[in-house]
């Protein structure tokens, strides 16, 4: 069994909860209140800057040029690909860069990013990969699931978000992370795999907390 399969099986119930969450379901059926989505986009925009920093720490720790290229591309994909979705919505919502920069991160947001950055500074590359995978992979799973709802990708407001996270470009970027995790998994001891499962599970719980935070607009 691939390491990514082991990681997923350990958190299957948490991930199934994402698709049942009222925030996610509201995006899928178009019923989500715009103010909740606005709150989410601002918090997620802040989150992605720290998320990109975790990738950047992988560039520093990489021991060969191929890995450095992989991780530098993932930094680029985050800042110029995924963030493009956010910038588009911020323009539609009338949010300026200055307003976004002035937003205070929520407690759940800060706790999540600090956990990933601690792993980025002190952990191994496989541990860093496990910490970032929960976000990138779960958004693909959510995007693909919502894209199967009739008319969801054509929704005048939320269709762009769903299409972005189910796009070929996003799937390809996430596949790079999955492949790297599985490559390292072939060399990990049972003790190391247990550590990776723990990190992945913690970040999966943080993802659930992030959806709760967005739904409740909780600082």
- Are the C-beta atoms of residues 193 and 10 closer than 8 Å to each other? no
- Are the C-beta atoms of residues 193 and 185 closer than 8 Å to each other? yes
Catalytic residue, chosen from 135, 154, 183, 218, is: 135
Active site residue 191: no
Instruction: DSSP letter for 64, please.
Output: S
Catalytic residue, chosen from 82, 127, 203, 207, is: 207
Active site residue 154: no
Instruction: DSSP letter for 104, please.
Output: P
Beta-carbon contacts of residue 11 (< 8 Å; ≥ 6 apart): 134, 200, 201, 204
In the chain the first and final C-alpha atoms are separated, in Å, by 40
Place of tokens 């990190």: 199
Give the tokens for residue 95: 């949010």
The Cα-based distances of 154 to 24, 151, 159 in angstroms read 16, 5, 5
CA neighbours within 13 Å on the CB side: how many for 18?
22
**Which positions are catalytic?**
135, 207
């Amino acid at each position: 069994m691939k390491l990514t399969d082991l990681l997923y099986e350990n958190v299957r119930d948490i991930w199934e909860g994402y698709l049942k969450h009222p925030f996610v379901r509201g995006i899928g059926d178009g019923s989500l209140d715009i103010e909740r989505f606005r709150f989410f986009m601002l918090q997620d925009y802040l989150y992605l800057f720290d998320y990109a920093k975790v990738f950047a720490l992988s560039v520093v720790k990489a021991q060969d040029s191929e890995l450095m290229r992989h991780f530098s591309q993932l930094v680029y994909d985050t800042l110029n690909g995924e963030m493009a979705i956010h910038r588009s919505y911020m323009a539609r919502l009338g949010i300026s860069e200055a307003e976004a920069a002035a937003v205070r991160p929520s407690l759940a947001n800060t706790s999540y990013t600090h956990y990933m950055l601690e792993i980025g500074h002190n952990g191994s590359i496989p541990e860093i990969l496990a910490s970032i995978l929960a976000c990138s992979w779960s958004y693909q799973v959510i995007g693909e699931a919502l894209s199967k709802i009739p008319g969801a990708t054509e929704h005048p407001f939320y269709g762009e978000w769903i299409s972005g996270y189910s796009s070929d470009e996003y799937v390809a970027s996430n596949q790079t992370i999955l492949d790297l995790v599985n490559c390292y998994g072939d060399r990990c001891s049972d003790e190391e795999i247990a550590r990776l499962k723990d990190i992945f599970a913690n970040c999966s719980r943080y993802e659930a907390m992030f959806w709760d935070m967005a739904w409740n607009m909780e600082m």
